[in-house]
Amino acid sequence: MINNAGMMLLGQIDTQPAEEFKTMFDINVIALLNGMQAVLALMKARNTGTIINISSIAGRKTFGAHAAYCGTKFAVHAITENVREEVAMLDVRVIIIAPYYLDKSVIYLYLIICELNIPAFIILLCDRNNEIPCLLIG
């Protein structure tokens, strides 16, 4: 399963509307958890499966006016790493992709040139730590 829901609403903590915090958390974190919950029991029962969570470099590094967004992406990283440990013995892989800002046309061009579909492209780039370094994507 590829978990790729996300929203970025930027602002300073003291001036950003609290409703934007909730909206981002619901989409970036709760939707991710719901997606994982929907497939994980079946993957565990089969002793196989792969969950790919799309995050952001903002889950590893902070940026100005990104506090709430970075918080949601740090949560995505923590959830992914925790669930990875929980299911590792069951041959269920939990992978995170943390791209930096990229012009989507660069990714699309690479996919066209290599004649790969998106899941194959992601699996191709996975390193041994189950994380795709952002430099490999661009």
CATH of the domain at 38: 3.40.50.720
pLDDT band for 30, please (50, 70, 90 cuts): very high
pLDDT at residue 5, as a whole number: 81
93, 49 contact by CB (below 8 A): yes
pLDDT band for 79, please (50, 70, 90 cuts): very high
pLDDT at residue 99, as a whole number: 79
In the chain, the number of structural domains is 1
The single residue of 22, 44, 73, 108 carrying the catalytic annotation is 73
The answer to whether residue 94 is domain-embedded is yes
The answer to whether residue 121 is domain-embedded is no
What are the tokens at 112?
């066209």
Residue-number span of the structural domain to which 68 is assigned = 2-101
The answer to whether residue 120 is domain-embedded is no
The single residue of 44, 69, 101, 104 carrying the catalytic annotation is 69
Q: Residue 3: beta bridge partners?
A: 53
The rounded percent of the chain whose pLDDT value lies above 70 is: 72
The answer to whether residue 38 is domain-embedded is yes
pLDDT at 115 over 50: yes
pLDDT at residue 67, as a whole number: 96
Q: Rounded to two decimals, what is the model's pTM? A: 0.75
Q: Is the dihedral of CA 103, 74, 70, 3 positive or negative?
A: positive
Q: Verify whether residue 73 is a known catalytic residue.
A: yes
Torsion angle of C-alpha atoms 81, 100, 102, 71, degrees rounded to 10: 70
pLDDT at 88 over 90: yes
Sheet order of strands, 92-97 included:
2-3, 49-54, 92-97, 131-132
Determine the longest span between alpha carbons in the chain, in angstroms: 48
Mean pLDDT of 15-44: 96
pLDDT band for 134, please (50, 70, 90 cuts): very low
The answer to whether residue 123 is domain-embedded is no
pLDDT at residue 71, as a whole number: 97
Mean pLDDT of 85-92: 95
The answer to whether residue 119 is domain-embedded is no
The answer to whether residue 77 is domain-embedded is yes
1, 35 contact by CB (below 8 A): yes
pLDDT at residue 123, as a whole number: 54
The answer to whether residue 114 is domain-embedded is no
56, 98 contact by CB (below 8 A): yes
More confident: 132 or 19: 19
